[in-house]
Structure 1
Amino acid sequence: MIVFIARRLVISFFVLLAATFIIYVLTAFAGDPLEDLRQDNSPQKLTKIAERSERMQLDVPVVLRYLGWLGRIVRGDLGVNRDGQALAPILSDALSATLQLVLAATVLAITVGIVIGIISALRQYSGFDYTVTFAAFICFSLPLFWVAVMLKQYVAIEFNNWLKDPVIPPVVIGALALLGGLIFGALTVGDRRRRLVAFAVGLVVSGALFTILSVTRWFADPGLGTPLILAFGLATAVGFTALAAGLQYRGPLYAALAAAVIGAICSQVLGPVLADPTWLEIGGLLLLTIAVCLGLGYALGGLQRRQAMTAATLTGVFTGAMVFLDRMLQAFAGFSASVRHRPVSTIGARTPNYQGDFWQTGLDSAGHLLLPTLALILISLATYTRFSRASMLEVMNQDYVRTARAKGLPERTVVLKHAFRNGLIPVTTMMAFDLAGVIGGAVVTENVFGWRGMGFMFTKGLQEVDPGPVMAFFIVTGTAVVVFNMIADILYAYLDPRIRLS
């Protein structure tokens, strides 16, 4: 493994070196960096041209300019742009904005897409499978700029207007209830009668839920409350136990249920701490939650301690996330009033000069992230759903899966322990490229939503024929591609022990 990593690092170094030379030369010959100054009619025109020419070393051959840039990179100096501004802080700000914008969307798209794809593969030729396939093809075909504009219009402008009087019209309630019934029916396995019963239950439950939300004007002053947090936590405990160990084992189930109950109780006990916390305190509470849940799993797990620790930890983290969401929702009314009842923003990364407590500033950031995150998720989700479905179907038809079933192993064991890991191998390659692409930003999304991230820095450098920002962008993204692809190769060996890297 060490030899493999060393060989890959050496090869990648020379590939990056050659690529930097090509990119630098292409950028330098992409246009005239003095074009805007040549059209300047001010008396200082010649002085400005001389200063920029000296700063960019335009009197030096491009190869020597590249060698000078390479020497500065070796010393850790990114240099300056054509206006004399240091590139290091510009790159830092752009990278921070890009990670805020794209990282959450990419992680959510990967997680949700793989889960939906696997469920679709396990329910092949069912109503759910056909629905997911149809929706995936639609999302995959949508142009990103059109999705972004539609989200601006309906999820931001129209939704903000609706929040002034959040009453759901009966027609909309009926449509949402019908959608809920269809989802329930599609997720149900069995004959037609069973699916019709599930459809009816989903229709009634969804209709009642949205009617209650409309009558109580929940969207004007939202919140979850301890009873709902406890209900979600208990339901999650059952689900995670079924996945990790199986409901026939009581130890893991008791540990997960205990984690949910303790999390709901702590939502009240920790009220003063959560009134206006810091991210450091939130991180500390997360680590404490994990430690307590691991202890519960170890103490109550019995012979299934490993599975109990997994189920309890996942349940505790999920319950903690529900408590976090509840606190955010409780602060929504005050935040909405402070931004003139326009909580969902259409442009920028934050409200200028906005001052608020921890939860209000978090809502401000979330309001700016909502639209670009949704736009990126809708496009990326389709790819991961279809790819993971195809990979899982291929694995489920392998001989070793049929052998595992023939041995009488439970379906949960067959899917999670035998098929799931091997089904992730092809998806891992795509994940590596996407995670590396996160660093490069999303040019279209940044332009539509007014984010000044890596994509903006790159396009601006190209438009101004300034190699400095372009090369800073390329160094970061090129290194990210090399690193994530190497991580993907290492993960291959972890997911499938038959793969040996030497």
Structure 2
Amino acid sequence: MISYIIRRILTAIPLMLGITILSFAIIKAAPGGPTSLLMDPNTKPEDRVKFEEKYGLNDPIYIQYGKWLGNMVKGDFGTSLIRRGVPVSEMILNRLPNTLLLMVASTILAFLIAVPLGIFSAMRPYTKLDYTVTVTSFLGVATPNFWLGIMLIILFGVQLGWFPTGGVATLNAPFSIWDRLHHLIMPAFVLAVADMAALTRYTRSSMMEVLQQDYIRTAKSKGFKERTVVLKHGLRNGLIPIITMFGLMLPNFIAGAAITETVFSWPGIGRLFIESAFTRDYPVIMAVTVLTAVFVVIGNLLADILYAIFDPRIEY
């Protein structure tokens, strides 16, 4: 297993290198740039040139990429072009805990709700419960998370006043776990809805296939309770597609968090990426891109490891 993990990490290096090359080229090909947003239109051309020379923006693109890659390998993502002199790594580390908190809460919420619903739906196929779960899942997949977030803010934040409308904690208030959870509930739910709906469908489909196998009928004929048969014999074999879904959820949370964090003013990586994209802050954009690629590699690696844990037939 250890040698397999090492091989996977080594094979991920060219993948991440390709992602950085494409991302860097796309960012540079976008119209405008930091100078057009930072400087007054009446700025003298020589001042604009000095700014570009200071940050190497007038170098050929391959030289800019080479410098960035060399610094990135050393763990230096450079400094922000918008927030002069602020290291990008410091900006990432300041916001990463908030995004991780949101991701963990969303993942736990999605699995706690989706897996039981999928199992119950598979145990009672084509009943009112099954149809209700199916329709609700389709609605969850089809509902845009920014629209759902705005609706929840209007209903539960503005009209009912049950939850705060944004932020990670109450301003100027002492640290409180309940206060953090109070701010976390709505954005975590919005971020989890789409994955929750898809996970419910995957669980239902997988469990329905497993429950029709011969060994399940044999276990039922021996007099085992239905709950024991489903949870002990069926669920473990039905977890493979669910594990695959889990591996895909980790990087998707970064993309989903970009919208959710913006709607709820959540100071995380996703919101930082949106802000940096609007201001053409190239070093920050590239740092978040690399971080997302790392999450893709980690998600797929965790899925492969969990395959071997839950299915003894799989060996590496």
Runs of 5+ in structure 1 lacking a partner? 161-342
Of stretches 395-404 and 149-158 in structure 1, the one that deviates more from structure 2 is 395-404
Matched, 1:26 2:40: no
Distance apart, 1:376 and its partner CA = 2.4
Answer yes or no: is the 8 Å Cα contact 1:99–1:439 preserved in 2: no
Separation in structure 2 between the aligned mates of residue 439 and residue 378 of structure 1, nearest angstrom: 15
Q: Whose radius of gyration is greater, 1 or 2?
A: 1
Matched, 1:348 2:167: yes
Answer yes or no: is the 8 Å Cα contact 2:149–2:260 preserved in 1: yes
What SS class does the counterpart of residue 486 from structure 1 fall into?
Answer: helix
Distance apart, 1:120 and its partner CA = 1.4
TM-superposition CA deviations, 1:422-463 (whole Å, max 9, x none): 111001111111123334551221221122321222223322
Matched, 1:60 2:65: no
TM-superposition CA deviations, 1:154-209 (whole Å, max 9, x none): 1112212xxxxxxxxxxxxxxxxxxxxxxxxxxxxxxxxxxxxxxxxxxxxxxxxx
Matched, 1:463 2:239: no
Of stretches 418-427 and 371-380 in structure 1, the one that deviates more from structure 2 is 371-380
Separation in structure 1 between the aligned mates of residue 294 and residue 125 of structure 2, nearest angstrom: 40
Separation in structure 1 between the aligned mates of residue 15 and residue 191 of structure 2, nearest angstrom: 30
Matched, 1:493 2:316: no
The one-letter amino acid of 2:137's match is: A
Runs of 5+ in structure 2 lacking a partner? none
Change (3 A) 1:139 1:437: closer
Separation in structure 2 between the aligned mates of residue 344 and residue 407 of structure 1, nearest angstrom: 51
Change (3 A) 1:492 1:142: same
Of stretches 111-120 and 409-418 in structure 1, the one that deviates more from structure 2 is 409-418
Matched, 1:80 2:79: yes
Separation in structure 2 between the aligned mates of residue 367 and residue 490 of structure 1, nearest angstrom: 34
Separation in structure 2 between the aligned mates of residue 113 and residue 80 of structure 1, nearest angstrom: 42
Separation in structure 1 between the aligned mates of residue 293 and residue 47 of structure 2, nearest angstrom: 34
Separation in structure 2 between the aligned mates of residue 93 and residue 48 of structure 1, nearest angstrom: 32
Counterpart for residue 386 of structure 1: 201
Answer yes or no: is the 8 Å Cα contact 1:31–1:465 preserved in 2: no
The one-letter amino acid of 1:348's match is: G
TM-superposition CA deviations, 1:109-164 (whole Å, max 9, x none): 1221011111111122333222222222222222222211211111112212xxxx
TM-score normalized by the length of structure 1: 0.59
TM-superposition CA deviations, 1:408-433 (whole Å, max 9, x none): 43333321222101111001111111
What SS class does the counterpart of residue 235 from structure 2 fall into?
Answer: helix
Separation in structure 1 between the aligned mates of residue 272 and residue 51 of structure 2, nearest angstrom: 19
Question: Percent identity at matched positions?
Answer: 38
Separation in structure 1 between the aligned mates of residue 253 and residue 193 of structure 2, nearest angstrom: 16
TM-score normalized by the length of structure 2: 0.91
TM-superposition CA deviations, 1:71-127 (whole Å, max 9, x none): 111211111121332101110122122123332122211221011111111122333
Distance apart, 1:466 and its partner CA = 2.9
After TM superposition, the structure 1 = structure 2 runs for residues 315-326 of structure 1, keeping only pairs within 5 Å, are none
